[in-house]
Amino acid sequence: MTTRVLTALDPGVEAQVATAVGGVREATIARRCVDLADLLASAEAGLGDVALVSAGLRGLGRDDVARLAASGARTIALVTGEEDEARVRQLGIAGVVRADASVADLEAALTAGGAEWAAELGLLDDAAGAGVPTPHGAPVVPQQPPAPEPVEGRITAVWGPTGAPGRTTIAVNLAAELAAAGASVILVDADTYGASIAQVLALLDEAPGVAAAARAGDLGTLDLPALSRLAPEVLPRLRVLTGIPRPDRWPEIRAASFEEVLRLSKLLAEHVVVDCGFCLEDDEELSYDTRAPRRNATTLITLESAEQVVVVGSGDPVGLQRLVRASQDLGGIPSGRPLVVVNRVRASAVGADPQARIVEALGRFAGMEDLHLVPEDRETLDRLLLQGRVLAEGAPRSPAREAIRALAARVAPERFGQAETPARRRRHR
C-alpha cells in the first residue's frame, strides 16, 4: 500500500526532500502544502496518511498536531538539530527525521506503521517501547514516554450547577486545607465563564496563568519549570494557576493544550484541584464547525480526567433543585467518583434544622445519601474576601472551615491526623 505524504516544508529544503521522497518506493507526495492552514485542510479532506513538516513551520502547535492525528495523518517533523527535536517532542510529535536523511532513513520514517502509529495515538500501552531500529546516527527517533514519577498527582474537579453555589469558595479552601495537611497542591482556575480565584486570593491577574500555560503548551515550550513559574506559591505547598480575567478570552485555552497543562500539573503536585465552569454542553454539537475551539472543553476534560469530582450545590430551594438536575447531567459524562457538597446551609432558606431537612429531601427525591454539608458563614467569608485570605488563615474555628477541612479529609484521608497549623501567606502582588 502506498503511503500518501502531505508536506509543509521550508522553501530551502522542500525541493531536496521532495526528490528524496520520490525515491521511496512505497510513498508518494499527495500534496505540497504552502502553509499550516493548507496542511490541515488537506489532512481533514483525507488526502494524506503522513504529514511531513518542518520543525519551524509557522503557527504549528499542539492543537494542530492533535487535529492532524484526528484526521488520520501521523506527523513527522524534519529537524536540523537537538533544539528542533526537543521542541517538536513537546508538541507531541512522535516521528522525527533529520534534514539530511538518506532515502533509506526517510523510507523507514514514512512507512513505519502499526505499533509506532498506535503509540502516537496512545492506543497501545506498550507501543512506545516498540519502534523502528535506530542504529547510531539514524534519523528516526520514536517517541519516548516521560520518565515515571515516584508519586503522580490526583485531580479533584470542583464543579456545580449555575447560580453561584460557591464552587470557588470550596475549591480555594479545599486546596488550602490539603496544603495545610502537608500535601503539595496546585489550584487551577479553569472556569471560562467567570474565573475568580485571583480575586478571592488577592492576586494580580493581568497575566492569567492558565492562558499562559495553555499557550506555552500549544507552542511546545511548557515543562515543569515553566509551569512552576506560572503557578507561584501563595501558601506553603499551595500553587495557584489563575484563570482568564475576561470571559471573552476563552478561545485562548485549546483542548489539547489544556490536557497538557493537567498532565504536567499532576507531575508538579500531589493534588490538582480544578475550579470548573458550570456548563456541560458539548459545544461541538452546537456548531457547524466541529474543529472550532470549545468553550466548555476545560470543564469536560477536567471531569473526564478527575479521580474525584466534588459537586457543589447551594442549600436553598432553588440551589437544591439545580443540584439534583445538574447531577443527572453529570451522570452522562465519564467522570471520577462524585462527592456531593451542599454549601451555604442555613435555616433562613429551608427552615429549622436545615441539615436534617436537606438530607431528608435529597435522599427521598434524588436518592442522594452520601452528602457533605457546609454551613453558611457569610460574615466571616466576606471579611476574608476583603483581606484575600482563606478560612484556615483567618478563621480557623469557623464552622464552614471545619466542614471544608472534613471534606479535605475525605478527598485525601491519608493526609489527615497530621495536619499543620497554616503558615503565614507568601504574598505575590
Indicate if the pLDDT at residue 321 is higher than 90. yes
Residue type, 317: P
Confidence (pLDDT) at 160: 96
* Higher-pLDDT residue of 239, 103: 239
Grid-cell match 538518506, residue found: 102
Distance CA 50, CA 294 (A): 26
Mean predicted confidence (pLDDT) in 188-198 = 95
Categorize the per-residue pLDDT at 27 as very low, low, confident or very high, splitting at 50, 70 and 90.
confident
Distance (Å) of CA 23 to CA 11, 104, 140, 193, 202? 20, 9, 17, 53, 62
Average pLDDT, the chain: 84
- What the block records as the C-alpha cell of 225 is 519549570
Q: Are 273 and 174 in contact (CB under 8 A)?
A: yes
Indicate if the pLDDT at residue 231 is higher than 90. yes
Confidence (pLDDT) at 289: 56
Indicate if the pLDDT at residue 33 is higher than 70. yes
Closest CA to 75 of 45, 46, 51: 51
Confidence (pLDDT) at 267: 94
Report which DSSP code applies to 245: S
- What the block records as the C-alpha cell of 127 is 507501543
Mean predicted confidence (pLDDT) in 228-234 = 92
Residue type, 212: A
Confidence (pLDDT) at 204: 76
Confidence (pLDDT) at 205: 66
Confidence (pLDDT) at 391: 97
Question: Side by side, which strands form the sheet with 3-8?
Answer: 27-32, 3-8, 50-54, 74-79, 95-98
Confidence (pLDDT) at 418: 46
Burial class (CB in 10 A: 0-12, 13-18, 19+), 171: buried
Mean predicted confidence (pLDDT) in 25-33 = 88
Give tens-digit pLDDT for 330-379. Answer: 988 888 779 999 999 999 999 999 999 999 999 998 899 899 999 999 99
Give tens-digit pLDDT for 143-163. Answer: 443 433 435 899 999 999 999
Categorize the per-residue pLDDT at 86 as very low, low, confident or very high, splitting at 50, 70 and 90.
confident
Confidence (pLDDT) at 114: 39
